[in-house]
Every structure is written in structure tokens, then in C-alpha cells.
Structure 1
């Protein structure tokens, strides 16, 4: 191990108040857990809300999907922190519903449209079938980690992450305008919707720039609360719809059944491939912040276990009617901020998420958030995802080969997003695989990065 890495780990240990295996007092444990929950709660519930809005699911279905996302995130976080056999990193790793899969999941859900009308059970069965089968890709990558890192280089990862953000911005701005419901009733883009979205966006930016760390951590929550209050004053939220909420959610495995579409499976499989590499980076950062090794057999065991858990937990999510999970990078910053790296805190976070997922009123309450209010928050979130991808790209050596890979990948990826009709004459399986700019751009990046060879003769 390099001397600089040893010094970095020693510095991290000295900055920690509680290390990985410490057990903080109950009050401090609960306080640290609440801060982590504050940082991740909105991010966990947002993907099911966006997917439900795009596929026009009813309030009951949307609420159930939100509840199951919380429930599964609790199970997944426990597995990551506790490490069960070879599964899990054994670090304070928080898992939640991933944004990366939204576009291909919506595409898979559209297979449930029959006679111009969405069949909810049919659409969800295609989604969960594809998510379950494709999760095997990430589990396989965990066993072949050293080789996968040679295929999915930082340049490829940066391109895919940037495309994820850029493609999701379309979903964000669609929500700002009022969503699919507003499109159907002809009110899309009204001043009322755009005004609420702008209010939420400005509130989040304002509080995020605060020097008070609690206001900064809660900026998204505060922005949504302000937006929902304004929407309630405008008569856009009706709490009477909550009367039908039951007392408790009983998780029902395979509630919507399973159906399989090859195009959807391949499309999601690519995202799992890239997610595995992202998880490797998150585990590396978490290990360093927690004062643990970042190379050698102990670290490799953690990394392989964490990525295996990422795939296994996504498989588990499909069983319990939820969407793929991934490690949340923002919690690494929370560890650094609080000085608490104890995985014991993770058990409390997991327990809280698990319990929240059991109460239908929680899911249905958040399902009442108007699309435009959610759009104001997600627009910024998705822009941040794209910016993160650009940072990854910027950290690589941008030579002539990299420029060519970037150019062809973004050109191919954005072309199918901007002009989706280009694939209208293709066979259904080709259309389903490449209708997502993330998949098209990602596949292009992997192939181009592997095939393009440039040998410069002399100086440019």
C-alpha cells in the first residue's frame, strides 16, 4: 500500500468519533440515523413516484410501490451493514431505490399497454420480471470484479452516468409541466404548474446554500414541504383520498406476477453492469472514510460482497414488488460530516425504513404530491446526476480516443431520446433494447472504448 494511502486512512481514523465496529450511545445512534434518513428518504420514494406518474398508476398502486420501496430499502441496508455470509460490504452502506433504472423500467412498463389503456398488473409483471432476471448480471460482475473494471473504465462509467442524468431531465421537466395527467387534460405547462415547480426549485437551492448543515441536509425535504403547502392552498391536494388507507401493509411476494421480455432484460442488464462499477467506487470511498483498507484481500472481499449484495437486493426488490436498489453515495458524505462510521447505526436506519414501509398511509401520503412539485425537486436531482458524470469524465485523460468515444456515445444516446421515431421500423426486440438513450449510449461507449485504437506518431 502506498504511503499516501496509509496516511489518508490514519487521518480518516483520527477524524472519526465512532469507528466501524463501535456502538455509540443510543441517543447519538438515533440522532446519526435520523440524519442519514433525512438525506435519503426523498431519494428512495422519488423513483416509484416518477415511474407511477409516467405509467399512470392509480393512487393505491402508487402508494403501495412507495411503501415497498421503503420496506425493501430497509432489508437491503441491513444486508449491506450486517454482511450475511458473502453477501454485503459490512460497512455503513445505505441502499435505496436507484434513479439509474427509471427510463428502461418505464419502457418495460409500457408493454402493459393494451388497447390504448394501461393494464397495471401486466405492466408491473414485465417490469419485475426484467428487473429480477437482469440482476444476475450484477451478481456475476461481483465474482469477476477485476475483469469488469477493465471493460467498464472510468470514461465509460462517466458517459453512462451523464446519459442517465440527461435522459432523466426529460422526465423531470415533464413532471414540472404537470405530468401525463396534465398532457391528457390539456393543462400541461400551465403557469400554475410551472410556478410551483419553480418555487420548489428556488427553495431547494436557497436552503442548500445555507451555512447551517441541518438546513442544507434537509433542503429537498423543505422544498417539497413548501411546494406541497402551496399546492394545498391552490386546491391541488385532497387529503380525503387517504381515508381508504389500511392499517398495515403486508408484503406479498410476486403480487403482480412475472413476465419476461428479452429486450427489457438486456436493457436493464446494461444498467446493472454500470451500477456494479459505481458500487465499487462507493464502497472504496466508504472504506476510506471509515478508516478501512482500500486495497488488498480484506478490501476486495468487502467490494465483492457489497456488489453481490447490490444485485441480490435488487433481486429481492423484484420479489417484493419494488425497483432495483443501489448504494447511496450521499451517505458517504454524511459519515464524513458526522464522524460516525459505525455500522450499528445502519441497523437503526434499516429498522426505520422497514417500519415505514409497513404503513400504507406513508406511501399514500407521498403519492399525493403533485407532479409539478415533485418535478421541481427531481429536475435539480437529475441535473446533479449529469454533473456527477461530467466530473468522472473530467478526471480521466481526455485524449483523441476519449474525444471520439465521447462524441459517438453521446450522439447515439441522445439521438434515440430526441427522435424516438427513428426506431419505429425496427423489430420489437431491437426497439425495446435501444429505445433508451442510456442503453444505446452505454453499449456504444463500451464497444467504442474497446475497439477504437489510436497511435499518435509524433507530437500533435
Structure 2
């Protein structure tokens, strides 16, 4: 059935559209590139949390494995769409960075049982928001969603720049921003751009992988690839998922903190799904669009609940994969099944993931910097699709000022209570709330 006038889909240059079924070779290749883009992002939150809570190596290893396992299950649900649950797009889910502050605070009070208890009990907040999305369209408008997507991209750019400079380890040893780190990152960035301009669909689809390979080779020549960790690490052959392994506990204060983040995550998810729909050539208005966003946000909350059951942390849709779709021209949701399978395998067999852990930061940074930039560009396109009058300009000014303000000067929250600081230290959270409130107040008629 042709799209109605208010459901007109944008014309996008794609090799494979949402419902297209790539060959096994093409799907596997595209999935592997997505895996490269998300692997480090998935395992980083559990590593940060485990370090802050001083967990032992066995527990840390298990949490990392379960983060991968839960991400695989969540990605499958988003792409497959089970009944009303799922966006039916190539949406990749992984461990959310937004919850790290509240998780650590809860962990210091009640350990892992309190963390997983709050993860499960607070998740329905996002699920409830998803069911009321069609009634919140006057509040969560394309202007709000575009602003959130823009803030997500701009916030992620900082992560990419840090990786290009050598990462936090380079900051500690004084090599951050060295000519070696910058040369590796620049070569990867240039390589991705070069291969992405190819008229050959296989070269274009493999642009991220080829760029990473070129960077890896240079890093190896410069002696920046350390394989000692792979040779000396003693890990189990496999990890078996055990529901509620650490038990459950609840605390009202922690539950409120988790609930607020779930609310913001719903806004982020709606923005990510909007960007994904646009990049994939799908409508940004009408019943089909509302159904996709509602189902995607519902899955976002349900998958976080499921992650808590399997001893993992809240999940959210990864914005960086939207950038990868745009770069590769592959939007087929069937590729998501391959990504899900890879993540589940990595979760069950932790040894397979070791090769990713030795990837030098500048190699990954060179590729992710470009992807994060495309996410920000997608936000700009969503905003530009709307009429930017005086009121809309005021909403943008307030949202971007507050959101970027806390990102650029986090010390502004030094004297704020730890719970509030954990919530508003994220530019996405602050800017997203500012966008919702200012849009509702300033643009109300």
C-alpha cells in the first residue's frame, strides 16, 4: 500500500531497505561492522561499575558476558518485533551509559541485588510511556526528538575524540594526543571515507571494517597492539545465564533515580527511532511512524527488565548504529538477527571477545568519530524538517544551552546533591528534559 500524504517517506540512498533480505555473505559482513561499533560500548559500563564497586574478577567477567547476552536478546526483539514489542527496524540495543551514576550509587548502598531489583521494578515506567506516546505527540514533537538526537551525537563525539587521542589510559601515562595516536585515528577516518565513496556496494558496506583493518595494521607496525592480555588471561570456557543469580532488593531512593532515567531513556529511544526511520527511508509522521516509536520504546523498557532478570544492566538503543546504517547503506532489519546471534555467542563464550579488547583506542576512535558525527547530522536534519519559528528557536536555544553546558562544564554541578548530579550530569538528560518542558510551555497554544 502506498504511503499516504502525511506518511510520505524520505528518499534515501540505500543498498538494502528495511524488509530486504541480503544474502548470507552481505548480511554477515554488515552485522560484523555493527558488532565492531558496539562491542566496546556494551562492555564498558559493566567494567566501570565493577571497578567502582570493587567486584572480583569472576563477577566482573560474568557481568560483561551477561551484558553481551542481554544485548543480543534485546536486539533480536527490536528487529523482529514480537507483537507490539519492537520497532521492526535495524535497532541495536546495548548497555546504557545513562544509568551508570544511579547504578553505582545503588550498588554502594545495597550491592548487586539492589541494582538488579531497581532495574526490573523501574523498567515498566518506560513501558507505560511507550503506550501513551500517541497522546504525547504534542510534547515529544520532531523538534524535541531532533534536539535529543543532536545532543546524543554531540555527546558521543566527545567519546570519539577521547578514543582518537588514545583513551583514558593515554591520559594517565601522558601519551594522550601523541602523533602516533592521531595518525592512527586520522588514517582510519580517511580510510572509511575513501572506501565509503566507492561505487562497489561490497566496498561501501565494508568501509568501516576496511578502515579499521588499515588502522590496525598501522597500529601493529607502531607497536601499539598489545596481545599479552590474550595470552595471560585465564577465563572460563563459557558462561551460563542464571536468572536472578545475585538476588533482588529494593530501595525507594534508588528506585526514584532509576525511574527518572528510564523516563529520559524513553525520550532518547524515541529520538533514536526517529533518526533510524529517517535514515532507513521510513515515514516520520502518521500511524506507521507512531507504531514504530511506541513499539520500539516499549521494547526498550521490556528489554531492560529482561536484562535485569539475567543479571545485566538497563539496555537502550545505540545511536551509533544509525550512523553506520547511513554510512553502509544497509537498513535491513534482517541484519539485526545476525548481530543478535553474534552478541549471544560472545556472551556465552567470553574468550571470543578478547580480540576486541586489545583493539587500540585510536583505531576505534577514528571510525566511531565519523559515526557519531552522522548521528548529530541526523538530528539536524530532523530539526530542519520542521518550521523553525521564533518559539522553536527559543526551545532550541534553551535545550542546547543547558545540554551542552553541563557537557562542557560539568563542574557546574559540583555542589548539587549526588542523586541529582547523577541524573543531570548527562547533557542528553538535561537537554532532553529542557526540550520537553520548554516545548510544552513556550509552544503551547
What range is the shorter-chain TM-score in? 0.7 to 0.9
Residue 94 of structure 1 corresponds to 90
> Rg larger in 1 or in 2?
1
Does the C-alpha gap of structure 1 residues 108 and 134 become closer, same or farther in structure 2, counting only changes over 3 Å? same
1:197 paired to 2:206? no
* 1:148-205 Cα deviation digits (max 9, x unpaired): 2221111111111111111222222222222222222232222222222222222222
Separation (CA, whole Å) in 2 of partners of 1:3 and 1:94: 20
Match in the other structure for 1:179? 167
In structure 1, stretches of 5+ residues that fail to align are 456-460
Match for residue 71 of structure 1? 69
Residue 384 of structure 1 is matched in structure 2 by: 374
Q: Of 354, 363, 388, which residue of structure 2 is paired with 1:364?
A: 354
Question: Structure 1 CA distance, aligned partners of 2:17 and 2:378?
Answer: 29
SS at match of 2:136: helix
Deviation at 1:433, TM superposition (A): 1.8
**What is the Cα deviation at residue 379 of structure 1?**
1.7
In 2, the alpha carbon distance for the partners of 1:302 and 1:442 equals: 20
**With structure 1 as the length reference, what TM-score do the two structures score?**
0.77
Pairing of 1:288-299 with structure 2 (within 5 A): none
Whole-angstrom CA distance in 2 between matches of 1:235 and 1:272: 43
Partner of 1:273: 267
* Greater mean alpha carbon deviation, residues 174-183 or residues 401-410: 174-183
1:222 corresponds in structure 2 to 210
The equivalent of 1:324 in structure 2 is 315
1: CA distance, partners of 2:148 / 2:6: 32
Alpha-carbon distance between aligned partners in 2 of 1:228 and 1:128, rounded to the nearest angstrom: 37
Q: How many angstroms apart in 1 are the aligned matches of 2:30 and 2:282? A: 18
Q: Deviations over 1:92-141 (max 9, x none)?
A: x3342359x43x34444664898xxxx9x96x878766654554333112
State the aligned residue count.
430
State how far apart, in whole Å, the 2-side matches of 1:372 and 1:63 are.
25
Going from structure 1 to structure 2, the CA distance change for 1:54 and 1:188 (only over 3 Å counts) comes to: farther
Q: Secondary structure at the match of 2:92?
A: strand
Determine the C-alpha separation between the residues in 1 that align with 2:336 and 2:81. 12
Q: Is the 8 A contact 1:264 1:433 kept in 2?
A: no
| 1:208-240 Cα deviation digits (max 9, x unpaired) | 222222222222222222222322333332324
Residue 399 of structure 1 deviates from its aligned partner by 0.3
